[in-house]
Amino acid sequence: MRTFDAIIIGAGQAGPPLAARFAAEGRKVALIERHQVGGTCVNTGCTPTKTMVASARAAHVARRAADFGVDIGGGISVDMKRVQARTAEIAGASRSGLESWLSGLDNVTLLRGHARFIGPDRVALDDELLTAPKIFINVGGRAAIPDIEGLSDIPYLTNSDMVGLDRLPAHLLVLGGSYIGLEFAQMFARFGSKVTVVERGAHLIGREDPEVSEAVRGFLEDEGITVMTGAECIRVERGGDGIVMHADCDGETRTATGSDLLVALGRKPNTDDLGLDKAGVATDDRGFVTVGSGLETSQPGIFALGDCNGRGAFTHTAYNDYEIVAANLFDGESRSIDDRIPGYALYTDPPLGRAGMSETEAKKAGHSVAVSSRPMTNVSRAKEKGETAGLMKLIADADTGKLLGGAILGPGGDEAIHAVLNLINMGATAKDLQWAVPIHPTVSELLPTLAGGLEPVR
């Protein structure tokens, strides 16, 4: 049996930096990965998808060249094999760089294989036994496959398949109108596919406020994407050379026939084959590891970080899990996951940047809410760029003026939202924001104006 000071199962976004911190403290650590170093972000998430988004935007801008007085001449075509090769090259370079960094760290042993608990301080790796007083689970998640009539009888794609696709579907059916589904829907429409999105909820990206969801729907439909919401009793079957999807949408039965089907109905944690019961680690009814405010599980000495704990589904939240654990273990701090201000982006074009609470969430939390919003048609920078789809919105507490949240759906929204996120983290009020002298012309310059226009919502 090999003994370590720590065992980390999974080399996603939290595992490698945590291994490096243990190593810097002079502790021996085993980092176990059964598939690819870098996890979802590097291999099937952030890196490859945003690389593909960039290719799709290049095609879109080229088609719009005449709007800006630029004559390209001829039609615009997309070579999917070259798009995929570029995507694989960039993701591969990121993965290899991470592997090279890990291999150069003293006190870190990178092991390959499927780790399974056989006790609260012991892990089996194939025929080898490892033990450590502290074990960290960073196994991430995968696409959730729902129980839909006919789905098991037809071929379908997940996000992992899409990033390796080197052909153009004639008609892509997207089951799921949230973040993953919409990013792929828009990019493949821009590559040249016909695209239909089918969403069970009344709105796309149902977590967002209705006006944000409807604005996203608007620009997707403007690009030729068919959107079906309120879809119930979904069923699929083979039809000729393609796939037929039936759905009852708002009382009307609708049918869409496509060449390919992407299933994008959420994620599930990779926790079902780790032997968590043998370690006394509790999970919820969806398989997510339950954790306390410091990321420790129901078993003392075992922690869960990243997507598998259900407390965040992003690269940056996984990395923040590492920061919290490291600060508490090594720096004498008492940081808590409960103090984290949520922030994230939807990488459609234009992108949506979100910080803090939505208006709906703020009301549910019991706040007396004040709201201010403006369409991107009122933003000079957006007009100059010819990209006026979307809107900006600020949410504050009507009694104290404290900033609670914001949304920027427009050019650079994924970057500009950091101004709001930072202010919320600082506990700033709308009046604090009003003192700012913004740079002109920028998208962010409208934020002080929004802060001055907050009106209570009854």
Distance CA 395, CA 368 (A): 10
Helix (H, G, I), strand (E, B) or coil at 12: coil
CA dist., res. 446 & res. 438, Å (int): 8
Strand partners, 227: 197
Report how far apart, in Å, the C-alpha atoms of 81 and of each of 71, 88, 166, 324, 361 are: 26, 10, 5, 41, 43
Are 162 and 87 in contact by the 8 Å Cβ rule? The answer is no
The active-site residue out of 114, 203, 246, 440 is 440
CA dihedral 59, 63, 67, 68 (to 10 degrees): 50
Question: Facing residues of 231 across strands?
Answer: 249
Dist. CA 121–CA 287, nearest whole Å: 21
Q: What is the largest CA-CA distance in the chain?
A: 70
Contacts of 394 (CB under 8 A, 6+ apart): 371, 372, 373, 403, 405, 406, 420, 430, 447, 450, 451, 454
Can you say how many angstroms the Cα of residue 431 is from the centroid of all Cα atoms in its chain?
32
d(CA 62, CA 71) in angstroms, rounded, equals 10
**Is 440 labeled as catalytic in the residue annotation?**
yes
The total number of residues shown for the chain amounts to: 458
Distances (CA, A) of 445 to 31, 224, 237, 352, 413: 45, 32, 51, 17, 12
Residues recognised as catalytic: 440
